[in-house]
Amino acid sequence: MQEECLLTMRGIDKRFPGVHALNGVDFSLRRGEIHALMGENGAGKSTLIKVLTGVYQMDGGEIRLDGESIVIRSPEDAQNKGISTVYQEITLCPNLTVSENMFIGRKSGIVIRHKDREKRADEILQKLGIPARSTQLLGNCSLAVQQMVAIARAVDMQCKVLILDEPTSSLDDNEVKMLFKLMRDLRGQGVGIIFVTHFLEQVYEVSDRITVLRNGELVGEYLTEELPQVQLVSKMIGKELEELSNLGDSEDVKIMQQEVFYEAKELSSSEAMPFDFSIRRGEVNGFTGLLGSGRSESVRAIFGADKVNGGTVTVKGKPVKITRPIEAMKHGIGYLAEDRKRDGIIADLSVRENIILALQVMNGIFKPISRSESEAFADEYIKALNIKTASRETPVGSLSGGNQQKVILARWLLTHPDYLILDEPTRGIDVGTKLEIQKLVLKLSEEGMSITFISSEVEEMLRTCSRLIVMRDRHIVGELTGKDLNQTQVMKTIAGGEA
């Protein structure tokens, strides 16, 4: 019984009105393994996790923990049974100290001995190699450390099963390395880790086993080393992966003959240092660089999203002033913001209302889009972008991340912009939708739309962009085109090594 099963889920069934979210799904987790749970949006990953953590009650099936059949009634119940979750959005309190966060909400006496707790917290932090002190305010730690504190909290609660739901989506490479080291240490201590992520490379770097779900059904369980990446992707999306390398066969020469649509000289904002930038009709270019290098800040300055301080801007050769989003929109510029939740969706409004918002703003307050017209627009784009929603009147907040992103994309496409800025349009969404968005970008550019595409995944940008602007420490440090557009050259330029 070397590989005894820590957790087995058999024939898990869960239905929502109109949706069969989980259809007899099996899942098993062994002691001391990192098990990646993979699938597109809507595959049933989140539902399975929520059944396991007691957020949802399953409609059928059995869960066994340590060989014993258990019923999980609530998240608290799950925690008491040794199943802990660390969510994508950190759910701790930034205004409390690290040790307070580690012990908050846990059963203890009324009298709290802060010193004891701090000592205990420091011990755990040290044992797990987490670079934080117990008396530090959690809000002052980096996101990665905050996440690790959440894990430490779970570990200290004697968790047997640790669920990490998209833990790496807001971390940079170094922080991801730290997190992975911690995960491996915990694996060594016999903890079973369920790892949910969209980053394929990370799955291969850290996981032992992969379970793939699709449309609420189990596709299969595989040993990571025996499943090539291409096959994983095709299992997730349910079809053979198309050859992507020739996706972006851009015709640079043709684009160079097109007129310059937008040009900025010495443009700066409250967040961005002065920079020069231009884009031609039908061109796809991108800003790349590490997190915090200033790529988002630069495109926000183009759109007038932050306070613009200086610089001259021309659109179609005519000098213009863009200091507010509405002015950018009037000049045919659209901007899909980096933070979908904070700057993109209006969660309580329907899919339809979210789609027509930008067009309505451009039409002005006195020319409301009629109900029937807006319904037609919504239906058109739900179909065109293949948005999965129960109806056009569903609140957009209840859609999956990828579909929310498509709604915002639809919102901008409906305004028929000449120039569309996409800031991390593929973050946190599944492989299939990522591909759809990349293809859409190329199709739009062929139709003459200029597009600036920003992504943390350099590969994605290499596939779509014909020109890459590289940023470091809030300055543009290079521009790559043609044969220089490859991973090595990009990395070199980001790192600052010339040779």
Partner 1 sequence: MKKIGRKLFRGGLGQLTIPIIAIALLAVFNLIRDPGFFSIGIAHNSDGNAVLSGNIISIINGASELAILAIGMTLVTAACGGQDISVGAAAAIAGSVFVKVLKSASSVSGGTVLLAFLLSCVVAMLFGAFNGTLVAVFKIQPMIATLILYTCGRSIAYWINGGATPTISNPILSAIGGFIPGIPIPTPVIIVVVMAILFKLLFRFTSLELFTQSVGINGAAARLNGVDPTFIKLLSFVLLGACVSAAGCIGVSRLGLINHETLLLDVEMDAILAVAIGGNSLGGGRFKIIGSILGAYIIQTLTITLYAMKVSSTNVKAYKAIVIVLLVVIGSPVVKQWFTKLMMRLSENRKKVSAKGAEE
Chain residues in the site for partner 1 (CB under 8 A): 17, 303, 305, 324-326, 329, 335, 337, 342-349, 353, 356-358, 360-363, 365-369, 411
DSSP-based three-state secondary structure for 80: helix
Confirm if 353 and 324 have CB atoms less than 8 A apart.
no
Please give the full DSSP string across 316-362, using - where no structure is assigned.
TTEEE---SHHHHHHTTEEEE-S-IIIII--TTSBHHHHHHHHHHHH
Shortest Cβ 83–partner 1 spacing (Å): 23
CB closer to partner 1, 176 vs 329: 329
- Nearer of residues 162 and 328 to partner 1, judged by Cβ: 328
CB 170 within 8 A of CB 292: no
Structure tokens at 374: 């807006």
Least Å distance, CB 264 to partner 1, is 19
Look-up of token digits 């209302």: 353
Q: How far is the CB of 327 from partner 1 (least distance, A)?
A: 9
In this structure, are residues 155 and 124 in contact, taking their beta carbons and an 8 Å threshold? yes
Burial of 475: CB neighbours in 10 Å, binned 0-12, 13-18, 19+: middle
Partnered with residue 221 across adjacent β-strands are 211
* CB neighbour list of residue 262: distance below 8 Å, 6 or more residues apart: 277, 278, 279, 302, 313, 314, 315, 333, 419, 450
The pair of structure tokens assigned to 254 is 């043709």
By C-beta, is 14 or 467 nearer to partner 1? 14
Question: Which amino acid is it at 466?
Answer: S
φ/ψ of 137, rounded to 5, equals -70, 135
Cβ contact 84:157 at 8 Å = yes
Residue 77 Cβ, how far from partner 1 at the closest point, in Å? 18
CB closer to partner 1 out of 84 and 415: 415
Q: Which is nearer to partner 1, 323 or 489 (CB)?
A: 323
Distance between CA atoms of residues 413 and 149, nearest Å = 41
**Token digits of residue 419:** 């120039």
Residue 430 zone, left/alpha/beta (φ > 0; ψ -120 to 50; rest): beta
Select 77 or 221, whichever has its Cβ closest to partner 1: 77
Vertex 376 angle, CA 372 and 379, to 5° = 135
Nearer to partner 1 by Cβ, of 178 and 302: the residue is 302
Query: Quick one: which of 314, 318, 316, 322 has its CA closest to 269?
Result: 322
Least distance between partner 1 and beta carbon 285 (Å): 21
Residues 6+ apart with CB under 8 A from 412: 334, 335, 336, 358, 420
Shortest separation between residue 428's beta carbon and partner 1, angstroms: 17
Comparing CB distances to partner 1, the nearer of 272 and 442 is 272
Q: Cβ of residue 340: shortest distance to partner 1, in angstroms?
A: 9
User: Rounded CA gap, 190 and 184, in Å?
Assistant: 10
How do beta strands 83-86 and 161-165 pair?
Answer: parallel
Shortest distance, CB of residue 346 to partner 1, whole angstroms?
5
CB of 377 to partner 1, least distance (A): 13
Neighbours of 411 (CB within 10 A): 25
- Our CB check for partner 1 shows the closer of 365 and 499 to be 365
Tell me how far, at minimum, the Cβ of 443 lies from partner 1, in Å: 24
Looking at beta carbons only, is 77 or 172 nearer to partner 1?
Answer: 77
Q: How many CB atoms sit inside 10 A of residue 300's CB?
A: 24
CB of 46 to partner 1, least distance (A): 19
If the CB atoms of residues 10 and 324 are measured against partner 1, the closer one turns out to be 324
Q: Which of 473, 457, 421 is nearest to 272 (CA)?
A: 473
In the bound state with partner 1, the residue whose beta carbon lies nearer, of 33 and 306, is 306
Smallest distance, partner 1 to C-beta of residue 265, A: 24
The values of phi and psi at residue 475, to 5°, are: -130, 150
